[in-house]
């Protein structure tokens, strides 16, 4: 869309630049009242597009955390912790919620998984004694495994580690 062709009043565009929160409140009020001619269309379009990008970024960020913890879990079994377990549980739950609230993200999931894997490797390398070369170059965890609250790669959890509870 050609943003230059979209009219915005100088007053609302200025508010957008000087007080974003006030601008959002003004735009919401104008939308509720149906005062279309006073809307800052160019900036509204930009912000709506940005919101969509933020949701995709949230998915990639959460996947990066899950993948990093799965790698740590698998490649350093002697250092497994309650913290890792609960981080995996929380992030998996939040990813499922995000997908339930935004079902149109599901087709993007395979791409997001591949993109987030690099972040997962960085997290695992940063938080362990391993380097990024110690991990597989490509993500080999399936989408189902990443979301499965009972999937923990590598050696099974020992009986003394009773953190596993039902979701």
Q: pLDDT tens digits for 78-118?
A: 999 999 999 999 999 999 999 999 999 999 999 999 999 99
Q: pLDDT tens digits for 18-50?
A: 999 999 999 999 999 999 999 999 999 999 999
Give the mean pLDDT of 116-127: 97
- Spatial separation of the C-alpha atoms in residues 64 and 91, rounded to whole Å: 10
Using CB atoms within 10 Å of the CB of residue 30, give its burial: 0 to 12 exposed, 13 to 18 middle, 19+ buried: middle
Distances (CA, A) of 63 to 10, 27, 118, 145: 41, 34, 10, 12
pLDDT at 58 over 90: yes
Band of pLDDT at residue 14, cut at 50, 70 and 90: confident
In this prediction, residue 155 carries a pLDDT of 76
Give the mean pLDDT of 41-70: 95
Q: What are the structure tokens assigned to 14, written together? A: 């200025």
pLDDT at 72 over 80: yes
Contacts of 154 (CB under 8 A, 6+ apart): 73, 74, 75, 77
In this prediction, residue 156 carries a pLDDT of 74
- At residue 69's C-alpha, the angle toward residues 117 and 59, to 5°, is 50
pLDDT mean across residues, the chain? 89
In this prediction, residue 163 carries a pLDDT of 62
pLDDT at 7 over 80: no
In this prediction, residue 164 carries a pLDDT of 58
């Amino acid at each position: 869309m050609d943003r230059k062709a979209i009219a915005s009043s100088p007053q609302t565009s200025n508010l957008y630049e000087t007080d974003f929160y006030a601008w959002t409140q003004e735009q919401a009020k104008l939308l509720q009242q149906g005062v279309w001619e006073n809307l800052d269309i160019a900036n509204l379009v930009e912000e709506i597009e940005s919101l969509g990008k933020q949701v995709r970024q949230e998915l990639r960020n959460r996947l990066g955390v899950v993948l990093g913890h799965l790698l740590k879990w698998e490649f350093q079994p002697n250092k497994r912790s309650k913290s890792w377990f609960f981080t995996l549980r929380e992030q998996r739950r939040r990813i499922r919620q995000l997908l339930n609230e935004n079902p149109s993200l599901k087709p993007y999931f395979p791409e997001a998984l591949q993109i987030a894997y690099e972040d997962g490797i960085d997290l695992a390398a940063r938080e362990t004694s391993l380097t990024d070369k110690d991990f597989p170059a490509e993500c080999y965890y399936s989408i189902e495994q990443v979301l499965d609250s009972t999937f923990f790669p590598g050696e099974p959890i020992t009986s003394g580690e009773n953190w596993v509870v039902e979701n």
